[in-house]
Amino acid sequence: MQSTQRTLTEHAANPEAFAAKYAELKARNVKELDRFLMTAAKVLTGAPLRPRARTPPQKSAPARREALLRLSARTLCRWPL
């Protein structure tokens, strides 16, 4: 986390304000703060991001058509006549 904080501080427009806000959020125990900052640092430096652990399975054409028809029927039933 030290390298992440250092990277973000170096690239911040106002390093003191960043450090103060980081300390404030850390004191509040903001969930996922470190993970968010690590991702932000990777984006900032151009480091590759880890791909999603699992990609959702693709539906077949008939399954997509069936889902679309079901959605259309539900939408039509909600419209006032």
Asked if 34 contacts 4 with a C-beta cutoff of 8 angstroms, the reply is yes
Asked if the structure places residue 25 within a domain, the reply is yes
Asked if 64 contacts 70 with a C-beta cutoff of 8 angstroms, the reply is no
pLDDT in tens, 27-81: 999 888 888 888 888 888 887 776 655 666 666 777 777 777 776 655 555 555 4
Q: Across the chain, which distance is largest between two alpha carbons, in Å?
A: 62
Nearest to 7 by CA among 49, 37, 48, 50: 37
pLDDT in tens, 31-40: 888 888 888 8
* Domain enclosing residue 18, as ranges: 1-49
Count of structural domains, the chain: 1
- How remote is the C-alpha of 55 from its chain's centroid? 16
Predicted confidence at residue 57, as pLDDT, reads: 63
